Amino acid sequence: MRATKHVALLVETSRTYGRDLLKGIHRYLAEHEHWSLFLELRALDSQVPRWLSSWQGDGIIARTGSATMAEAIAATRLPGVELRASKIAHGLPFVGCDNRDIGRLVADHFIDNGFTNFAVFDLDTEQYFEERRDNFRAHLAARGHTCSEHHAPNRGERPANWERHQADVARWVASLPKPVGIFACTDQLAFWLLDACRRAGVAVPEEVAVVGAENDETLCTMARPQLSSVAFDGERVGYEAAALLDQLMAGEPKPAGPILVPPAGLVVRQSSDIMAIDDPYVASAVRYIREHACHGINVADVVKHAGLSRTLLERRMRQAIGRTPGEEIIRLRFNRVKQLLTETELSLAAIANRCGFEHPQYMAEAFKKHFGITPGTYRSGGQKS
């Protein structure tokens, strides 16, 4: 037997999860003997490498995106590990994220934030989409709640007609009782859902709070508002898959069942960062603050917009969300400051101007008082609150 194992990694690199899987495999190899690796930049539906049918390798780790790929992998008769829970069967042991925990995390997030109306935007093209949907609904039912449901038009992530697709989703969103928490079974669906909310004139997250799944960096940060999502522990999945393949290549038997890794947690961003608000005056005030907090508004502006006395508005906002109008303005301004510090190279003066602060020095002093570090330290990767 040759000393170095020859392994093909047929894993897509187009999304954050696939790249995290490769990081986990890399970590395993850094701790053990390295393999000779085939690795290329791939999409989930990339073609089968032409040489695979005659390859004299030792093992395969794959995320199989088609029946053709499954057949090609099975034909090699090599030890392998599958990283995609799919209806496509080829007999490889599976390592992946535990979808039971995904539904629970999202349901608890909405319930803990006071929502009583719930919906799910789903696909039924894959087993794992169905598991996420079903476990979300089951966990809601266990806590005494029902859930509306909407299937993605054409049952896929590639709509045949984009405008018709979005109009259909917008009509569904408009028909739901508000406020409502919606779980989209993928970040792609959630990204489209947020666009549909804008088209329908529905405020996010005041009327509709949205959470996706997979925590894809591109989709979550490009979304407006930025998308909350369940983060998968892709690195651990990749590490466990590499360890399992090592065992299989050494002649050990396949595991009796799938190896499931819990998700890393729910990353809360603006799309669901709010308590459900039944009070129409408070909902109107909070929506106004979210839309104008970085435009230099003050509490008097909010009071005028809400149509209540300052004392009454402050009391009702504190009852509903635990913060006064002034506290909510500052919270949202600092959230924007942190975002611009980490995502741009803008100067402090430019950031202050974009976030509603008249003077950059005041913003810097207030930031340090609020978070215990300077904006510069935060930008350079210091401890973040």
- Token pair 């390798």 is found at 57
Q: 4-8, 70-74, 241-245 — which is least confidently predicted?
A: 70-74
Task: Name the pTM for this structure.
Answer: 0.76
Q: Is residue 223 within 8 Å of residue 191, measured between CB atoms?
A: yes
Closest alpha carbon to 209 in 112, 348, 346, 310: 112
Q: Is residue 136 within 8 Å of residue 107, measured between CB atoms?
A: yes
Confidence band of 385 (pLDDT split at 50, 70, 90): very low
Percent of the chain clearing pLDDT 90 (strictly above): 72
| CATH 3.40.50.2300 correct for 99-232+267-272 | yes
- Token pair 């459900």 is found at 276
CA dihedral 140, 144, 145, 151 (to 10 degrees): 50
pLDDT at position 287 is 84
Could you tell me where in the chain the CATH 3.40.50.2300 domains are found?
6-97+234-263, 99-232+267-272
**CATH fold of the domain at 280-379:** Arc Repressor Mutant, subunit A (1.10.10)
Q: 82-91, 125-134, 333-342 — which is least confidently predicted?
A: 82-91
Q: How far apart are CA 22 and CA 19, in angstroms?
A: 5
pLDDT at position 36 is 95
Contacts of 192 (CB under 8 A, 6+ apart): 165, 166, 169
Could you tell me where in the chain the CATH 1.10.10.60 domains are found?
280-379
Closest alpha carbon to 83 in 244, 199, 322, 310: 244
Checking if the pLDDT of 384 tops 60, the result is no
Considering the four listed CATH numbers 3.40.50.1010, 3.40.50.300, 3.30.2320.30, 3.40.50.2300, the one that applies to the domain covering 6-97+234-263 is 3.40.50.2300
pLDDT at position 157 is 67
pLDDT tens per residue, range 159-195: 778 899 999 999 999 999 999 999 999 999 999 999 9
DSSP β-bridge partners for residue 260: 96
Checking if the pLDDT of 153 tops 70, the result is no
Residue by residue, DSSP assigns 141-192 as HHTT---EEEEPGGGSSS-SSHHHHHHHHHHHHHHS-SSEEEEESSHHHHHH
Checking if the pLDDT of 156 tops 70, the result is no
Q: How far apart are CA 219 and CA 313, in angstroms?
A: 36
pLDDT at position 87 is 64
